[in-house]
Amino acid sequence: MRIWRRLRHRVPGMDAEWGTLRVRATSYVTRLNGPVKELLVFRYLDESVSGLHLPGGGVEGDERPDVAAVREVVEETGIREDLALAGVVGVMQSRWESGRRYIDLFFHLRTEEPRDQWTHRMIGHPSAWDTGMVVEVRFEPLEEAARLLAATGQGQESFLHRIQSASDSVSSSCSSIP
């Protein structure tokens, strides 16, 4: 967690370029459906927000990024089954439309969620732009999800190749996060 402690604060010499660094946690949530590895994705039912999305959002205060990843999955998808942390699969630097830069940590989580598709009303902080919005959540075969996510142009598919061949058994080094 040494890197995380550095990211939480302004880094000397970086102020002009980065300002206060915003850290996000995004999750690839997979399950096995027979021999097929599937990825959890969602879309907003409000047509003003297009495309498929992965669960993710800001890491708050002193919150650990792995805990934020799980919290965001629950808030944005309403998943009911346990989530097992398989690891960090990538880090991306980007900027929002406002120009503000951020860093996004991509996690791989595993679940045995039995539902294939459902709707969910997002929960979260009352000031968050998407709190209360309704989403359609579903599992897609990994290859199809990669194609659909790439079509958004947001780079959400950037690290999927790292989980496509990953072992599907949860090792003893992986821990479930409540």
What are the domain boundaries of the chain? 2-159
**Could you report the per-residue pLDDT of 84-137, keeping only the tens digit for each?**
999 999 999 987 778 888 899 999 999 999 999 999 998 888 777 777 789 999
Residue 167's pLDDT is 60
Q: If you search the block for the tokens 């079509």, which residue do you land on?
A: 151
Q: CA nearest 66: which of 19, 18, 4? A: 4
Residue 8's pLDDT is 46
Which of 113-117, 139-143, 169-173 is predicted least confidently?
169-173
**CATH for 2-159, among 3.30.70.240, 3.30.1280.10, 3.20.10.10, 3.90.79.10?**
3.90.79.10
Strand partners, 27: 107
Q: Is the dihedral of CA 70, 48, 31, 169 positive or negative?
A: negative
Tokens of residue 80, six digits: 């009911």
